[in-house]
Structure 1
Amino acid sequence: MAELAWWRSGIFYQVYPRSFQDSDGDGVGDLEGIRRRLGYLKELGVDAVWISPIFPSPMADFGYDVSDYCDIHPLFGDLAGFDRLVAEAHALGLKIVLDFVPNHSSDAHPWFAESRASRASPKRDWYVWRDPAPGGGPPNNWMSNFGGSAWTFDEDTGQYYYHAFLKEQPDLNWRNPEVRAAMNDVLRFWMRRGVDGFRVDVIWHLLKDKDFRDDPPNPDYRPGDADIRSVLQTRSTDQPEVHEVIAELRATLDEFGDRVLIGEIYLPVERLVAYYGADLGGAHLPFNFQLILAEWRARGLARLIDEYEAALPEGGWPNWVLGNHDQPRVATRIGPRQARVAAMLLLTLRGTPTIYYGDEIGLENVPVPSAEAQDPWERNEPGLGLGRDPERTPMQWDASDNAGFTAGRPWLPLGADHTTRNVAVLDRDPHSILSLYRRLIALRQDPILTTGAYHAVEAEGDVLAYERRLDGRRWLVALNLGPEQRRLRLPECDRTGGKLLLSTFLDRTGTVSDPLQLRPDEGVIVSLA
């Protein structure tokens, strides 16, 4: 039955709710907007919708600063609207996955208000408080991911509190069993409402070094780099005991049956795979961001795929991601032609793929001047290009005013190409990137792509090639990552050729012969047997 789990065979689609669809004209997307677009997601062919945070929040970090874990921010709707969304999604056969932000709350959360009220507060130990260093100043050298020290001094109680991100996002103390119990109850609250799983924000941050030792300095840090790069976060993150905490979260999900636990983890692959947990009792899917961070070269990509496959624990299920709300869009990173090749890579590798909203229409980063930046990281460290607004801009639905996203003023600017790069226009073009995504997703319904084995194929030049194999059947995936025409010799036993199932250009089918001809920036899928 494990092989048939929906999160293994399915495709995830990330919705950034502020930017997907606005239903009330305030310029910000909402739950009703998502509900109205469920038909589009069903037609696209995805299986699960992951929704970034929608909880009550002062919005210091756009919902990643939660002030109530068991409600909906009025900006997005209410619990009744959420229930309607879940019910309608389930009726269409779609799963709903929520973003869960347990590492830190908002400083406006009642828990933190009680914690900072006095050193004797019953909830004092729910957060991370420390005395100043001898002689004054922060307790250690831990840095905020958004710039500056990760410690803020509280004048009233004479101690510092720790925040891995903004000072408005104090870290919870996950060494306190009361915190753990409260957070597991949050998961139960949402699963009782029908939620099918959770993507856990910065899961590798949950526990810190119990002795609060300094992080070692980063020898590769250079002046002008972001502050967080000045240290190696080996003490402030990724502590061995974190796996006990994750096992508790997993056990809570297991109480409700077929749910999924996804962990956000930016770590090298050998440390990433530890988050599957002992006997696979950790995260079902520790997010694998290698395709986002890697140089777009065939030999390097082939190596990282092989290393990841080899590092997976027995029974561990792979997963792949091309983009998300924190990273530049794939069409910007590698260009629009290669974005089509990347789509074929994502949807033919072994494991669960996640699509970031808008990638299926080739959305690119939209420039947002620093003076108009919404992202707190950009405001805290201006001029370093750290802002994440450009990859969070509104979905482009049609050629009408504001691209069909809102009747009001969008909270972030639309792309200059929104009258031509939108769902309505691309839907009518049989050769568009949207048509390619739909064809790839349809092809992925074949068990050879959902459960078949991965087998690397030797290739020359900037060509990445591999086979998917199942029950004697073999599909070859050949991806030309460069701007020049390339040839690929077919395996010796297949020199008579094969059947071309799909090209990223969507302009040819039929038989192919040896050697396989690849046009510049082209990817193909060939049935060999």
Structure 2
Amino acid sequence: MQTTWWQSETVYQIYPRSFFDSNGDGIGDIAGITSRLDYLQRLGIGLLWLSPIFKSPMDDNGYDISDYQAIAPEFGSFDDFDELLSEARKRDIGILLDLVVNHTSDEHVWFQEARKSRDNPFRDYYVWRDPTDKGGLPNQLNSDFGGPAWTFESATGQYYFHQFSHRQPDLNWENADMRRDIYGMMNWWLDKGIAGFRMDVIDRIGKQVDEGVTTDGPHLHDYLQEMHRETLAGRDVLTVGEAWSATPGSALLYTGRARNELSMIFQFEHVTQQWDKVYGKWKPKPFDLVGLKSVLGKWQMALSDDGWNSLFWGNHDLPRAVSRYGDAAGFHRESATMLATALHFLKGTPFVYQGEEIGMTNAAFSSIDQYKDIETLNMHRLHVEAGRSSEEFIAGANQNGRDNARTPMQWSAAPNGGFTTGVPWIETNPNFLRINAETEMGDERSIWNHYRRLIELRKRHPIMVHGAFQSYLDQHPKLFVYTRRLGDERIVVMANFSADIVTATLPTELSTQGRTLITNYEPRERLEGNIEMKPYEAFALLEETLVAVADDNKAESALPAELTKALEPQA
């Protein structure tokens, strides 16, 4: 079966500010990423997605870009980036850049020109509207970060539109000159040899603000097809679109093979279903496994024959997976490895967010002053103004706030987790003394080694890439059970999403014997009748009557000398 190269790879997302600081200024940087490539290579990673490294005033930690073709000084220089690209290539690791083209920074030269006058050539690169007859807002659209989505510019007497911070004005994709400049920039980066782009909130570029449409506008797919023609056609690269509004019904518009748009999208239905209808993520609902299975299964079936799924538990905008879906306190290793197994055997390309592979947890800040994220700070103010207590808001933020994923990577038990010799830009989670990469890599049964085995299994077993998905026990409140089948091969995957010992009766068609590919408890050889699952147990069993399997569970526990040195604090 023909495989597109990125279908069998595993992607690792790096939040550069928090990954590794090479110069002691408290901020992670590009040189720091380069110094950790051996770590990523040994984990088995094939692609690195870097959150924005472009020049930016950092109002939203780089998602407000002031120059698409310059590197943020705090992250390094172009020489640093070229070295990263070269060293990654030597290790067969590709680099994905974060393409943020729904909006720019208000410090971008385009916006600086646009705000000078109504007849400036760059004026129409952004979305401007007159006040109403009574001098009010053009309409009632709100920013995702709180408050109106319109900011008034007295110099020209108009409002500009922004779906996020007022310092992130939205680009006007109806302007052909603006689109041409974006495509030119994309080609410039692609010509440098990057492996592709992750595309930030790409479902919003087709907005039609006068109709109140902010996502899935009528020309969205026209723009994406034009983008493909002008930049991606003829290039063997990966494109991943962030699309919070996507549904199983619309997914193939983005990713269908004949559509010539994107390779895959990030959809978030499994995330948003866990949110409160009134307070959203700031008051999360109790975890609902039946609902989660329904969403995951729906997406597996929708893209079973065309398109492609992205598989992820977390990213820079989401809480830590083991804190949200597992048990970070009582069954840390078991629940983290369970989550990894349940995800990596699904059909799609897995994404690992930095620190997930060692089971990093939520930050659990006690004061709003500890938070750095603009969204969290803005929403705290608005919730408190509306009468909600600060303590109640912080409780929600400690579960779902974006800074949970942004605390420094925990490399060792050295001060600040070995992230920096200086003062980190955001507090390090104090549990770095027991949760860190150095400890994890030296333990054969660790979360890290479990991820390494999963990634290796994916490269060795085409069934994990192309096998058909079928779910079982869909209404069971604690067990996630599914199979993957390719030709005569079948894998049975079972995961207990609870701290309980769970006994369940297996459907007859799951009765089988085989060899355990991976488990976080003891291997199994037979499945039939009633099965007892230990707390957060997960395993994948390949039917041995159909195929001979090598010992995929064996792990090297020794930490190579060069990696031991790489994990030491930098002078």
TM-score, L = length of structure 1: 0.91
Secondary structure of 1:112's aligned partner: helix
- For residue 317 of structure 1, the aligned residue among 286, 308, 319 is 308
The alpha carbon displacement at 1:388 in A equals 1.8
* Equivalence map 1:367-406=2 (5 Å): 367-368=364-365, 369-382=367-380, 383=390, 384-385=393-394, 387-406=401-420
Aligned residue in 1 for 2:443: 429
Aligned residue in 1 for 2:500: 484
**Equivalent pair of 1:126/1:172 in contact (CA under 8 Å):** yes
Alpha-carbon distance in 1 for matches of 2:457, 2:304: 28
Aligned residue in 2 for 1:241: 219
Aligned residue in 1 for 2:358: 361
**Equivalent pair of 2:304/2:468 in contact (CA under 8 Å):** no
**Equivalent pair of 1:20/1:29 in contact (CA under 8 Å):** yes
Aligned residue in 2 for 1:13: 12
Alpha-carbon distance in 1 for matches of 2:429, 2:60: 23
**Equivalent pair of 2:197/2:239 in contact (CA under 8 Å):** yes
Aligned residue in 1 for 2:337: 340
TM-score, L = length of structure 2: 0.85
The alpha carbon displacement at 1:272 in A equals 4.2
- For residue 285 of structure 1, the aligned residue among 256, 264, 288 is 264
The alpha carbon displacement at 1:300 in A equals 2.3
- For residue 439 of structure 1, the aligned residue among 444, 453, 456 is 453
Alpha-carbon distance in 2 for matches of 1:424, 1:355: 18
Secondary structure of 1:280's aligned partner: coil
Q: Note if 1:450 corresponds to 2:465.
A: yes
The alpha carbon displacement at 1:308 in A equals 1.3
Q: Note if 1:303 corresponds to 2:294.
A: yes
Secondary structure of 1:328's aligned partner: coil
The alpha carbon displacement at 1:288 in A equals 2.6
Secondary structure of 1:238's aligned partner: coil
Q: Which ranges of structure 1 fall in alignment gaps of 5 or more residues?
A: 216-234
Alpha carbons of 1:473 and 1:365: their partners in 2 closer, same or farther (altered >3 Å)?
Answer: same
Q: In structure 2, what residue type is equivalent to 1:333?
A: R
Q: Which ranges of structure 2 fall in alignment gaps of 5 or more residues?
A: 275-286, 381-389, 547-571
The alpha carbon displacement at 1:485 in A equals 2.1
**Equivalent pair of 1:495/1:514 in contact (CA under 8 Å):** yes
The alpha carbon displacement at 1:313 in A equals 7.9
Aligned residue in 2 for 1:51: 50
**Equivalent pair of 1:292/1:321 in contact (CA under 8 Å):** no
Alpha-carbon distance in 2 for matches of 1:472, 1:481: 29
Alpha carbons of 1:357 and 1:37: their partners in 2 closer, same or farther (altered >3 Å)?
Answer: same
Alpha-carbon distance in 2 for matches of 1:273, 1:135: 44
- For residue 346 of structure 2, the aligned residue among 327, 344, 349 is 349
Q: Note if 1:274 corresponds to 2:253.
A: yes
Alpha carbons of 1:105 and 1:268: their partners in 2 closer, same or farther (altered >3 Å)?
Answer: closer
Higher mean Cα deviation, 35-44 or 438-447?
A: 438-447
Secondary structure of 1:71's aligned partner: strand
Secondary structure of 2:352's aligned partner: strand
Aligned residue in 2 for 1:221: none
Q: Note if 1:265 corresponds to 2:243.
A: yes
Q: Note if 1:473 corresponds to 2:489.
A: yes
Q: In structure 1, what residue type is equivalent to 2:517?
A: L
* Equivalence map 1:135-284=2 (5 Å): 135-209=134-208, 212-213=210-211, 215=212, 235-255=213-233, 257-269=235-247, 270-276=249-255, 279-284=258-263
Alpha-carbon distance in 2 for matches of 1:160, 1:495: 65
The alpha carbon displacement at 1:289 in A equals 2.7
Alpha-carbon distance in 2 for matches of 1:171, 1:517: 54
Alpha-carbon distance in 1 for matches of 2:492, 2:363: 36
Q: In structure 1, what residue type is equivalent to 2:227?
A: L
Alpha-carbon distance in 1 for matches of 2:107, 2:289: 48
Alpha carbons of 1:163 and 1:278: their partners in 2 closer, same or farther (altered >3 Å)?
Answer: farther
- For residue 420 of structure 1, the aligned residue among 412, 415, 434 is 434
RMSD: 1.9
**Equivalent pair of 2:256/2:307 in contact (CA under 8 Å):** no
Aligned residues between the structures = 505
User: 1:12-33, CA deviations, whole angstroms, 9 ceiling, x for partnerless residues?
Assistant: 1100000000001000000000
- For residue 318 of structure 2, the aligned residue among 300, 321, 327 is 327
The alpha carbon displacement at 1:273 in A equals 4.2
Alpha carbons of 1:304 and 1:408: their partners in 2 closer, same or farther (altered >3 Å)?
Answer: same
Alpha-carbon distance in 2 for matches of 1:513, 1:70: 56
Alpha carbons of 1:184 and 1:499: their partners in 2 closer, same or farther (altered >3 Å)?
Answer: same
Aligned residue in 1 for 2:560: none
Q: Note if 1:42 corresponds to 2:56.
A: no
Alpha carbons of 1:297 and 1:149: their partners in 2 closer, same or farther (altered >3 Å)?
Answer: closer
- For residue 523 of structure 2, the aligned residue among 494, 509, 518 is 509
Alpha-carbon distance in 1 for matches of 2:228, 2:53: 22
Aligned residue in 2 for 1:218: none
**Equivalent pair of 2:343/2:350 in contact (CA under 8 Å):** yes
